[in-house]
Chains A and B, each alone.
Chain A
């Protein structure tokens, strides 16, 4: 690790950790349904107006089944809206590039599933597929609503832990509205304006055409006909900043442009890159503090946060090292050493302004959370460098995971850990005074086993079908990594890709969509069931034999459980892909 790498990681983590407490405390106001400081005065009337129009009471309470039904119904509407807007965009306004309907229908289906589930897997290139209206009214909206949905599930689970002997978990409608009005919209507005100031476009004008400084003839033309001179450049613009801000804050990750945050219009400077990383980590980590406050012991929140960060850094740091080390197969041809004048390292698919260090940090941040944005092309990472983001996703997106979904996923692992630790010391497992019994264990097991099963079965299907193998872009072990990555990313609602894989086929569109929907809702439903079950229980005061869940020992056991139960599940598959490729690369094989 270069000194610069340590500096960049320290700056990022330091900034985020400084923000955890104030933002986390602010969110307590939002979810305890207290008046929100400052913003409450301005947005309070808006909030009350929304409830009136929707026929909702601000003090309305739902049990877990009602809450879940409301959530599923709301997400179904979102799914239909995204699908239909894509298919009808040719007739809808704000389409200066005259994009036709998104086709084939399996692509629109995949994209709808992708954005509703907070995955943002993209089998399309934004600037050549989507109209401004689709980007705004379909995709940006789901960036907000899928993040808000994650927050509602989490807050219901936390209420289940904090409340006793009740069926009331709060109201999905109220939690969603308050998440939007008081958290996601204001933060996005501020971030979007800062991004514009750095050069991220925000306009509804059509794409810009300029005359090139140096016209050229297309080189390496495969046709025999004389190639025409290229004299102009068409520059895609659009309402980019507004989408970029919520893309990061909502841990969504779906780029306005095909190149995502590698595109200079999505991420033009070192500062925007830093702010995007901060925005990605902010809400998943800050909610740990909110959680601690809501259950009456902030150390519980810090313990979970520590486990998240240890896992994140354990895979982010090797990624930085691997990318900075470069590709030994290129060592004989060009200079990859870092100096004052160049970053060196593996620069394939990376931007000069980020270099290997900030590319690898971004990859870690965006895969440790369920964001899946990229500021460099992961398919061109070194095998070890690509293994790190892959494995971070395979941890089921809990290090620190997506907005809402990360912490509720982590709390499933906490329940498993409490249960296993309870077995070891021969006591009834308890968490925060709630007895963890057979029902909770069944539901938590479903929630944590669904994503790995989807990933491994999906990869197996891709490996043995002609349609699956047809998508591969790179030969050898790397081709397997591409398929494994695609299934991992969609089966855990991440959305990043080894983008060489051609995913826009009926096979990958449909299989991927089913994986994304299952990974999202088959974990939400058992999580909500646990929330309902926990809320009904009494809170037992901690005794001398109670396992302390806010101690370093517990953090250690929690990490060990995640590694043993989940990370090692994937070890055989990783061996066939990135690990064997790393060995081949070091041995000089192409």
Chain B
């Protein structure tokens, strides 16, 4: 590969368009094409094959549970295979029976909590459909627990961004305690203690928000107070 000679004789005062830029020909068209094709192939192998495989290797070696989808079984224990699992600790499931904690609404299609087709409702803030949806969800919550007069926490009646939100606010879990306590014949205080045991704190104490993991809470509920 030839190199350009240093170009010290340019004064830099004339307009750019007038300056000849063909002073040196370090590479012809063919050599440029060759460089581009070979470099592109190398970068594709490096970034598209080697790099993901190295990450996969490290992940499988050091974090096999996380790398395979954070699966849990009925006892809440970590498992690696879908056959033994009831779900993922990070992916919500749909619950609509009144003796379970309900998760946040999910707008995935064709069924809620479709973990193969994530997404939100994308209803705008002034869309009448949004207000109608919220009212219908409040009506469903009140129908399942006619005595309830508490205000409904907003996250319990609004669909999440992913449609797979594994968590809800502590307020949303507390709101459902009277209903579940009545149906499962448990003292509300015991149920509240159980919810408190399942609070997911902020990362490092500051990052993110405090929530409750609904699937793990329901699994614990089934183990301790079978319906």
Contact = CB atoms under 8 A, between A and B. Distances in A.
A241 B59 contact: yes
B133 to A, nearest CB: 9
Contacts of B42: 50, 53-54
A241 B154 CA distance: 31
Interface in A332-378: 333-336, 339-355, 357-359, 374-377
A128 B119 CA distance: 12
Contacts of A209: 82
- Of the candidates B21, B27, B52, the one having the most CB atoms from chain A within 10 angstroms of its own CB is B52
Interface stretch (A163-171, A286-294, A505-513, A547-555): A163-171
Contact of B120 (A140, A165, A173, A349): A349
Contact of B117 (A59, A125, A136, A336): A125
A145 B43 contact: yes
B69 interface: yes
Contacts of B82: 208-210, 235
Given A263-B118, A329-B126, A341-B170, A352 B165 contact: yes
Interface in A257-280: 257-259, 262-265, 268-271, 273-274
A437 B18 CA distance: 13
Interface in B74-93: 74, 82, 85-93
Contact of A70 (B35, B44, B222): B35
B1 A352 contact: no
Nearest to B199: A341
Given A61-B26, A341-B170, 13 more contacts: A137-B44, A137-B48, A202-B55, A208-B88, A212-B86, A241-B59, A343-B169, A345-B154, A347-B160, A380-B130, A499-B119, A500-B122, A533-B16
B49 interface: yes
A380 B123 contact: yes
B211 A352 contact: yes
Given A167-B4, A334-B153, A352-B209, A74 B21 contact: no
B17 interface: yes
Contacts of A349: 120-122, 158-161
Interface stretch (A307-315, A396-404, A470-478): A470-478
A529 interface: yes
Interface stretch (A18-26, A34-42, A193-201, A415-423): A193-201
A81 B45 CA distance: 13
Nearest to A277: B207
29 contacts: A136-B48, A138-B48, A196-B63, A203-B60, A203-B68, A208-B69, A233-B91, A233-B114, A235-B91, A237-B69, A264-B92, A270-B209, A330-B131, A330-B158, A333-B157, A334-B153, A341-B171, A342-B155, A349-B160, A350-B155, A352-B165, A352-B211, A358-B208, A380-B130, A437-B15, A438-B15, A439-B15, A474-B122, A477-B126
Interface residues of A, number: 158
A187 to B, nearest CB: 11
B164 A259 contact: yes
A11 B115 contact: no
Given A199-B90, A265-B69, A336-B154, A377 B122 contact: yes
A231 to B, nearest CB: 11
Interface residues of B, number: 128
Interface in B54-108: 54-56, 58-60, 62-63, 66-71, 74, 82, 85-97, 100, 104
Contacts of B113: 233
A352 B160 contact: yes
Contacts of A344: 154
Given A53-B42, A54-B35, A498-B122, A136 B135 contact: no
Interface in B189-227: 200, 202-204, 206-209, 211, 215, 218-219, 222
A195 B172 CA distance: 28
Nearest to A61: B4
Cβ-closest 6 pairs across A and B:
A270-B208, A262-B161, A500-B122, A270-B207, A533-B16, A271-B203
A66 B25 CA distance: 9
A477 B89 CA distance: 39
Contacts of B100: 214
A53 B37 CA distance: 11
Nearest to A358: B208
A127 interface: yes
Contact of A352 (B10, B44, B119, B168): B168
Contacts of A572: none
A121 interface: no
Contacts of B43: 141, 144-145, 176, 180
A211 B157 CA distance: 26
Contact of A204 (B8, B31, B56, B219): B56
A504 interface: no
B212 to A, nearest CB: 8
Contacts of B55: 189, 192-193, 196, 202, 239, 241-242, 245
A537 interface: yes
A352 B104 contact: yes
Nearest to A273: B208
Contact of B69 (A201, A216, A273, A585): A201
A536 interface: yes
B146 interface: no
A574 to B, nearest CB: 16
Nearest to B58: A193
B207 A274 contact: yes
B148 interface: no
A127 B115 CA distance: 9
B202 to A, nearest CB: 5
A81 B51 contact: no
A201 B124 contact: no
A246 B26 CA distance: 33
Nearest to A127: B116
Given A73-B32, A354-B209, A377-B120, A333 B135 contact: yes
Contact of B163 (A259, A269, A348): A259
B21 A65 contact: yes
Contacts of B104: 352
A127 to B, nearest CB: 6
A213 B52 CA distance: 33
Nearest to B202: A270
A350 B122 contact: no
B189 to A, nearest CB: 16
A342 B164 contact: no
Interface in B122-145: 122-128, 130-131, 134-135, 138
Contacts of A166: 6-7, 10
A23 B164 CA distance: 36
Given A50-B42, A536-B19, A341 B166 contact: no
A176 B43 CA distance: 10
Given A168-B7, A263-B162, A208 B85 contact: yes
B11 A165 contact: yes
